[in-house]
Amino acid sequence: MKKSISTLQEALLYLLQGLWYTETTLIQEFKEYSNHLSSPQVKSAVLQYIDNADTNLLRLERVFNHLTTEPVPRKNEVIVAMMRETRDLLTATTDEHLRDILMIGCVQYINAYKEASYKAACLFIVEMELDGASDIIQHIWQSEHQTCQAFASLSIHEFNKANGS
């Protein structure tokens, strides 16, 4: 990080720029990863997650507008590492069903990171009393939380398939 952060708004912008990078990277990478999935349910859930990321970008653009700044992505090293881990796991796994289960886990890791980041952004925005932006970020955060629950259920379903339940 080259620039020092001295205000809450600068911290918020730093966080939002990382989230912008996260969403754009997720869209690109997960489109490729979805081609390697065998379960129609897992593939559908991943494609829905990509659609949600695209919607999140539109919402983030509105938040940047509230802050009167352009949405400039900032390379997010956490996401770079998580995406590398996902790619490595998927390419090394020879069993199709296990690959589907591992993909669910990777989505859950990334989603947990995003959910925590959006929660922090929401707290920053509330503290700054940016009501319009607060509503947008809260909506994204709630969507990420619902995604967490959906992938947890999907995980149970896929494990049960493996065990013949």
How is residue 51 written in tokens? 């659609």
Task: Give the burial string for 107-131 (b: 16+ CB within 10 Å, else e).
Answer: bbebbebbbebbbbbbebbeebebe
Global pTM value = 0.91
Give pLDDT tens digits for 79-107. Answer: 999 999 999 999 999 999 999 999 999 99
Residue 1 has pLDDT above 60, yes or no: no
Q: Where are the domains of the chain?
A: 16-68+80-162
Average pLDDT (8-27) is 96
Could you tell me the maximum CA-CA distance found in the chain, to the nearest angstrom? 56
- Report the range of poorest mean pLDDT among 54-58, 140-144, 158-162: 158-162
Task: Give the burial string for 69-87 (b: 16+ CB within 10 Å, else e).
Answer: eebeebebeebeebbeebe
Fold entry, domain 16-68+80-162: Ferritin (1.20.1260)
